[in-house]
């Protein structure tokens, strides 16, 4: 493949002659301004460019900026195919971190070392505040950036992905702070005869996620069988409340309720009908099980705050609302319910997820089982 270099001002330029267009016969040339400072370096870069063209890994020079490309990637490859919450999360990472740092830079000028330095700096101070980002947040930013640049390679905007070979700090495994049986009893005692009694009972018995709890309607309860259908997830995206499908396909499930909860749900449905009759046109009939006095839905964040305020007011150990799901799982395992059954009730996509999440509980149970076996053997042998 013919090619040569020439000096233009203080820069070297490579010119490669490809085969003419078979239809028009028009000459087909590739031009590239080189970074070389000497003729020898320029000749070496020319040979490298010829190899790229020959191997079909050549990428034309482009002035597309990181900002332009990342916004196009979000709108074209993320928004139409991901959930509103996932898109909002990706968009936040892209705009707050990636564009804030690299937005004006040409996409093709990105380098691995600059991306690595950027991630390293986020461990000290984020772009949005003086606080460092957690390893998990940095990993999420990288996941988005890496996926976008991988797509840029497929679109022939980049020859290789500069975010591919990056070193990231390992995320510390989160161990949920759960309630033991005495704390569960104290929690329920404090919730009795308050508007927190029913949601707390549902969380203790069914271990649903926050969005699943707030999306439950009376149509989801089969009072004859005690089965509660989890088919929806209530989320907040930029202040707008959205009802969507649960997290995964396995999250769509039916959970059998203890008789105590079924009884409580029957009473709550009667109370719902009474409030609806009392308030008349002022009642917001959304058919929600967990709702405000006038039937209005809770915003997910405000319900989490309501739960936290309830714990503080009653001098109970403060845990996250989501830790009630972990409390339910731990309680099931400690009561002897198999991890396989727990997986189904929790809506985990795989058995491995359940085993990995609650391995510490299972290890403690194994120790207890060993002690019981040891005592039994002493009696036998």
| Residue ranges covered by each domain of the chain | 3-54, 66-154, 181-350
Q: b/e string for 191-227 if b means 16 or more Cβ within 10 A?
A: beeeebebbbbbbbbbbbbbbbbbbbbeebbeeeebe
According to the model, what pLDDT value does residue 248 have? 80
According to the model, what pLDDT value does residue 326 have? 93
According to the model, what pLDDT value does residue 362 have? 72
Using only the alpha carbons of the chain, give its radius of gyration. 30
- SS3 category, 326: helix
Better-scored residue on pLDDT, 206 or 54: 206
Asked if 164 and 116 count as a contact pair (C-beta separation under 8 A), the reply is no
Asked if 69 and 152 count as a contact pair (C-beta separation under 8 A), the reply is yes
The strand pair at 221-222 and 11-18 is best described as unpaired
pLDDT, one tens digit per residue, over 14-39 is 888 877 777 787 877 777 888 888 99
pLDDT, one tens digit per residue, over 60-87 is 777 889 999 999 999 999 999 998 889 9
| Strand partners for 234 | 243
pLDDT, one tens digit per residue, over 333-348 is 888 888 899 999 999 9
Mean pLDDT value of segment 307-328: 96
Task: Judge whether residue 112 has pLDDT over 90.
Answer: yes
Give the architecture (CATH level 2) of 181-350: Orthogonal Bundle (1.10)
Residue at token pair 């009696």: 379
Better-scored residue on pLDDT, 350 or 310: 310
Task: Judge whether residue 9 has pLDDT over 90.
Answer: no
pTM over the 0.85 mark: no
Tell me which of 87-101, 251-265, 335-349 is least confident: 335-349
- Angle between helix axes 323-334 and 359-380 (nearest 10 degrees) is 20
According to the model, what pLDDT value does residue 370 have? 66
The CATH number that domain 66-154 falls under is: 1.10.150
Q: Which are the contacts of 71, defined by CB distance < 8 A and separation ≥ 6?
A: 94, 99
Task: Judge whether residue 176 has pLDDT over 70.
Answer: yes
Mean pLDDT of the chain: 90
Tell me which of 95-104, 132-141, 153-162, 232-241 is least confident: 232-241
pLDDT, one tens digit per residue, over 113-131 is 999 999 999 999 887 788 8
């Amino acid at each position: 493949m013919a090619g040569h270099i020439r000096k233009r001002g203080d820069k070297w330029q490579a010119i490669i002659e490809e085969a003419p267009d078979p239809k028009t016969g028009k000459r087909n040339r590739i031009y590239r301004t080189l970074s070389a400072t000497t003729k020898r370096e320029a000749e070496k870069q020319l040979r490298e460019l010829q190899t790229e063209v020959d191997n079909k890994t050549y990428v034309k020079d482009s002035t597309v900026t990181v900002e332009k490309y990342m916004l196009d990637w979000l709108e074209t490859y993320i928004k139409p195919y991901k959930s509103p919450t996932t898109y909002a999360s990706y968009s936040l990472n892209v705009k707050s971190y990636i564009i804030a740092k690299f937005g004006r830079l040409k996409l093709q000028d990105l380098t691995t070392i600059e991306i690595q330095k950027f991630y390293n700096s986020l461990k000290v101070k984020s772009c949005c505040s003086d606080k460092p980002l957690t390893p998990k947040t940095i990993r999420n930013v990288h996941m988005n950036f890496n996926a976008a640049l991988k797509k840029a390679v497929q679109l022939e905007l980049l020859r290789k992905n500069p975010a591919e070979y990056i070193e990231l700090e390992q995320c510390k495994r989160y161990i949920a702070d759960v309630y033991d049986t005495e704390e569960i009893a104290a929690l329920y005692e404090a919730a009795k005869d308050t508007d927190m009694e029913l949601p707390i009972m549902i969380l203790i018995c069914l271990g649903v996620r926050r969005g699943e709890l707030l999306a439950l309607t009376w149509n989801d309860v089969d009072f004859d069988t005690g089965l509660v259908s989890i088919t929806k997830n209530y989320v907040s995206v930029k202040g707008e409340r959205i009802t969507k499908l649960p997290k995964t396909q396995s999250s769509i499930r039916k959970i059998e309720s203890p008789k105590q909860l079924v009884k409580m749900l029957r009473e709550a449905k009667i109370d719902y009908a009474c409030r609806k009759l009392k308030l008349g046109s002022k009642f917001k009939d959304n058919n929600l099980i967990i709702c405000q006095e006038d039937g209005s839905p809770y915003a997910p964040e405000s319900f989490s705050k309501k739960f936290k305020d309830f714990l503080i007011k009653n001098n109970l150990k403060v845990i996250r609302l989501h830790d009630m799901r972990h409390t339910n799982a731990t309680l099931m395992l400690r009561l002897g319910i198999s991890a396989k059954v727990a997986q189904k009730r929790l809506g985990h996509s795989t058995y491995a997820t359940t085993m990995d999440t609650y391995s510490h509980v299972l290890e403690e149970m194994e120790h207890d089982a060993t002690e019981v076996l040891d005592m039994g053997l002493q009696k036998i042998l």
